[in-house]
Structure 1
Amino acid sequence: LVYVRDVISILRQVGDALKFLHESRDAAGNEASHGDVAARNVLLTETNLRDDVAEDANSEGRSGCRNLKTALLGDFGLPIDFGPRLPIPWLPPEIVSSLDRTRVTHRPESDVWMFGVLGWECVTLGAEPHYQRTVDEIQQCFTWPDRGLHQPPRCPLDVWNFLLDCMSEQHRRPRFAGSADSVSSAIHRLRTLQNTYAKDRRTLEIFYNATNCTCHQHRCNVPLPSFAR
């Protein structure tokens, strides 16, 4: 069973990592962003589902996870890596709709949108965003109320509304940087959700993509990783 509180805990930890990153600056004073916030880049350890945001699939993450039993969140039946290609289904409209995708300007607000898609990956327990849609179809989905990512039946409304806010217009998205006490803070929203569901026993169920699954894409015949000794 996967409880709602487990998913919120994962998202809170990813949010804390993004807060640290977004409050960082390079030598020139430019703000930092991740650029590929997705389940395939989240490392889970066996200790209380502690997770880290990795720079790539081979990264240790922030806690030096090679000394612990770890697995990529994206290994639990989620999509394969995109390699050097742009991960279009995760990217926000300001990037997907850009005329020149070879020179992408990624900002913290873009990470927030991708965090919303990551949240959708989590609450669906492994569905692939915009599965088998073309770029043009994905752009059309940006105009839909749910951005083309349907609310899973067991996803609580307050959790769902938070994810939709992350996938709203740039200036309306919650921020990870700054005071966590502000109502516009993503950390504040996540903290509130954690408190709400701390003792809640509601669970999530797998939300299948509407189209036919391909075993190559979802690795149906590959055993799921396990922390069992």
Structure 2
Amino acid sequence: MKHLKSIFLIFVQIIYYVKNSSASFNLYLSPQEMQRHLGLQAELYYVQDNRINEYALNFTLLLPPKLNTLYFTWKNTDSQELPYSISVETSNRAAIPYPKLNISSSGSVPTSTQTFAVSVPCTETIDAEVLISININVTFPGNNVTKLHLSRRKTCINENLKPYASKNSLTFADSSSVFYIAVCCAVLLILVLGVLITIYYVTDKKNKVAKSSGTGPGTTTTTFLATLPRNSVNISSYASFRRMPSYSLLDERSKDLQERITDLTVQRCRIRLSSIILEGTFGRIYQGSYTNEEGNEDTVIIKTVADHASQIQISLLLQEGMAMYSLNHKNILSILRVSIEDHTAPFLLYPFNNYKNLKIFLQKCKVSSEGVHHTLTTQEVVHMALQIIKAMQYLHKRHLLHKDLAARNCVIDDSLNIQVADNALSRDLFPSDYHCLGDNENRPVKWLALESLLHKTFTPSSDVWSFGVLLWELTTLAQQPYIEIDPFEMAAYLKDGYRLAQPINCPDELFAVMAYCWAMSPEERPTFTQLHVFLQEFFAQLTKYV
């Protein structure tokens, strides 16, 4: 009888515990907050009817530098009171000293849907990567405490040391100042144009006299480069010399550019073409060999054009091919040598380590089972992305912009080592990736940031946008982005908030990175340093399970 009584008491206690532990609550990010964080119209639940989303809790969200307030929505879905306590900590008090809550640090979870805020502004006095930890403890009936740990990572920037000044950073005292400055600039521009026209007229007259007399340097030198397109800026022209005809280059990095090019120039007899790797309407990429100064033969990639190529096409080959000369980084394919001789197309030589074009490599990865070139894992995709990030960090450290970052402008070897290359000949070899929007200029419309599309403005943030599309290419094995969108409608499509969809089998972590890269405002996009930190952590998590 005593045993039955004890069992009955235990049964009553169990019923009481179950009844009194039925209280539940929800904690989530609203669609508006998800739009601010990831550009997605969806809710993200951390707790839903007492079911804890461990995956979401373990995911550290990257915060744009200008995002200073976090919003969380919660609700007690039962009538029983649920006490809570909240604390917020940062890993660097000098960067983010005192996070603030707009609710009490302890109390009861509200029984109606409410939103609370966590303020995490940077002091903007130091550069730092700050980990923000939000700890929430909820006590259920029976003293059952549920502990939730939410992580955010934010990069704080020292505004006094910004390497790239904003276009809007200059201010003037009043409208009269603007008027006088504009008048002065207009007068100066007229004077400069007058001088240039005079010089052109005198030079042209001299050339005509020289040609009519059959003497002068103009009779023995072939000029390969015609007038550049109207969008070309900062063009430097150099006189002809024996080993290399006159040319023009878009490069601001060196005053002794002519001497550097002279150092790169080699005789055509040292170069031997072997086989064509890629071929377009006028562009050719060969595998060949080059005999160096020591007499050794090196295998090289050779970019050139066909005999029927126009002088403008030859000009663009030289401009774009020289964009990355003198750079020294293991993840950048820099030009090795140049060969330019009279009456022949120029040769641009690059080192060859069994490299293949990344876009073509990715496309081969998705063919039929008997023809599969390589099956990529998530770990390999992240590793490839990290290599591209390192290359872009190096470029931006040198205050250089790529402006055409895409899979077609990268190369990869058999060990999945990647190098970022220039975009020479890309318009011809991958014509479906470029579109003309009525301005007589082929541009990679579907890889460009919104401000680059609308205003032709290029910054490190616009390179970050293009990297997001490149990451999408890696996860989709080089599918065509926005394939259903007309190029003329791209700007309106992006302004309306539409973006590329999450690829099949793409981890949420990778898609979150893409979404950050496609933030509407350039200031809200992460830097390549932030991207490297996040993807390095994600890569480390992946390797734990291998």
Per the TM superposition, whether the score is higher than 0.5 is yes
- The CA deviation at 1:57 is 5.3
Distance 1:81 1:137, change over 3 A: closer
**Which of 133, 150, 175 does residue 501 from structure 2 map onto?**
150
Q: Deviations over 1:87-127 (max 9, x none)?
A: 000000011122xxxxx331111100000000011111121
- The CA deviation at 1:197 is 1.9
Identity of aligned residues (%): 30
Distance 1:189 1:79, change over 3 A: farther
After TM superposition, the structure 1 = structure 2 runs for residues 19-58 of structure 1, keeping only pairs within 5 Å, are 19-24=393-398, 31-46=399-414, 48-56=415-423
CA distance in 2 between partners of 1:14 and 1:20 (Å): 10
Distance 1:121 1:130, change over 3 A: same
Unaligned runs of 5+ in 1: 25-30, 60-74, 99-103, 202-229
Unaligned runs of 5+ in 2: 1-374, 436-440
User: Is this contact kept in 2: 1:37–1:115, CA < 8 A?
Assistant: yes
User: Is this contact kept in 1: 2:451–2:457, CA < 8 A?
Assistant: no
User: Is this contact kept in 2: 1:40–1:79, CA < 8 A?
Assistant: no
- The CA deviation at 1:139 is 2.1
- 1:173 aligned onto 2:525: yes
After TM superposition, the structure 1 = structure 2 runs for residues 133-144 of structure 1, keeping only pairs within 5 Å, are 133-143=485-495
User: Is this contact kept in 2: 1:5–1:198, CA < 8 A?
Assistant: yes
Greater strand fraction, Structure 1 or Structure 2: 2
**Which of 451, 454, 457 does residue 94 from structure 1 map onto?**
451
DSSP-derived class of the 1:52 partner = strand
CA distance in 2 between partners of 1:80 and 1:57 (Å): 16
Letter in 2 for 1:54: A
**Greater RCO structure (CA 8 Å; 6+ sep):** 1
After TM superposition, the structure 1 = structure 2 runs for residues 1-229 of structure 1, keeping only pairs within 5 Å, are 1-24=375-398, 31-46=399-414, 48-56=415-423, 82=434, 85-98=442-455, 104-143=456-495, 147-168=498-519, 169-176=521-528, 180=529, 185-198=530-543
- The CA deviation at 1:134 is 1.8
CA distance in 2 between partners of 1:105 and 1:97 (Å): 8
DSSP-derived class of the 2:381 partner = helix
TM-score, structure 2 as length reference: 0.28
User: Is this contact kept in 2: 1:92–1:167, CA < 8 A?
Assistant: yes
TM-score, structure 1 as length reference: 0.64
Moved >4 Å (runs of 4+) = 78-81
Distance 1:197 1:164, change over 3 A: same
Distance 1:79 1:119, change over 3 A: farther
CA distance in 2 between partners of 1:200 and 1:139 (Å): 42
Q: Deviations over 1:193-228 (max 9, x none)?
A: 211222557xxxxxxxxxxxxxxxxxxxxxxxxxxx
User: Is this contact kept in 2: 1:112–1:166, CA < 8 A?
Assistant: yes
User: Is this contact kept in 1: 2:433–2:446, CA < 8 A?
Assistant: no
Letter in 2 for 1:90: W
- Radius of gyration: which is bigger? 2
Letter in 2 for 1:35: K
- The CA deviation at 1:136 is 4.2
CA distance in 1 between partners of 2:464 and 2:478 (Å): 19
Letter in 1 for 2:500: L
DSSP-derived class of the 1:151 partner = coil
CA distance in 2 between partners of 1:150 and 1:21 (Å): 29
CA distance in 1 between partners of 2:537 and 2:474 (Å): 18
Letter in 2 for 1:121: E
Matched pairs, number: 164
